[in-house]
Amino acid sequence: MKISRLFFIFVFLATRIFAQSDYILGNVANESGDKLPFASVHNLRTDQIVMSDKMGNFAIAAKSSDELRITRQGYERKVISITPDSFSKSLNVNLTSIPEEIEEVKLSFRPTGILKKDVTRLNPPPKVVALNAAMNLYMRTPPNEVAPKASIPSAFRQPDFSAGQLNVLGLAKAINGLLGKATSAPKTTADYAEAQAFYKRVKSVIDLGYYTKYGLDEYDFDVFLAYADRAYDLAKNYRNNFNKAVIEFKLKEAFAEYIKTHNFSRKQSEG
């Protein structure tokens, strides 16, 4: 009697266990509803792994309380616990895309918001400054080759009725040019005393505020003035023919190049 009762209990329990073991049918898609093929479905208890087909469908053996881990490249993994209701309907799994991380860009230069200070800190490399200076010098140098000119062949050229006649207007211009050269003194390089007198006169007539707002003090301006004189021959060209407007223009043109290699913002902030 006891043996038959134990057999009945064993058969009942085995029936219950095998009744709960079945296949889970499901489908894998992303958050937009697009079907995901080749998704991996892993039963963590049995270690069985199946792949979803091209429509995202899969079937895997499982029983209640099993855990299924669904993974696919580019998506976050998901673990689903199997319940008795999972065998009565399709198991729809939605995977979430992993956001792509953009590499962090570190800015070594932190602008202050003050344009005059920020521009002086954006100094180009010395090689770039040297290259720009060489290009500027090249552009100022007259071409060595004679530029081609369009001319009419002699066979098609109109006869010149003034040939052999004296060009009175041209002769007058030539005589006037010779007289001008004779009356004007040739330009010579200024000596130390002449250069110092020219510098003193320049500082007394031009607006120094234009340069002090960039951080230049009186000493810095003297250094810059000597630089501009060497670059543009200011004392040589204008010490005897002083032209305030032209000199100011030349100084600002030289300062645009000078400020690329000199930084006065730190000195201004310390002062």
Beta carbons of 118 and 269 less than 8 angstroms apart: no
Question: Residue 55: which residues within 8 A CB-CB, separation 6 or more?
Answer: 27, 35, 37
Q: What are the tens digits of pLDDT across the range 52-100?
A: 999 999 999 999 999 999 999 999 999 999 999 889 889 999 999 998 7
Q: Residue type at 203?
A: K
pLDDT at position 18:
43
Model confidence at 184, in pLDDT bands (50, 70, 90)? Answer: low
Tokens 């020219």 found at: 198
pLDDT at position 259:
84
Exposed/middle/buried for residue 56 (C-beta within 10 Å: 0-12, 13-18, 19+): buried
pLDDT at position 268:
57
Q: What are the tens digits of pLDDT across the range 131-163?
A: 888 888 777 777 666 666 666 666 666 665 555
The pLDDT mean for the chain works out to 78
Per-domain residue ranges of the chain: 2-95, 192-270
β-pairing verdict for 40-43 and 21-30:
unpaired
If residue 78 lies in a helix (H) or strand (E), which one and from where to where?
strand 78-81
Return the CATH number of 2-95, one of 3.90.330.10, 2.40.70.10, 2.40.30.10, 2.60.40.10: 2.60.40.10
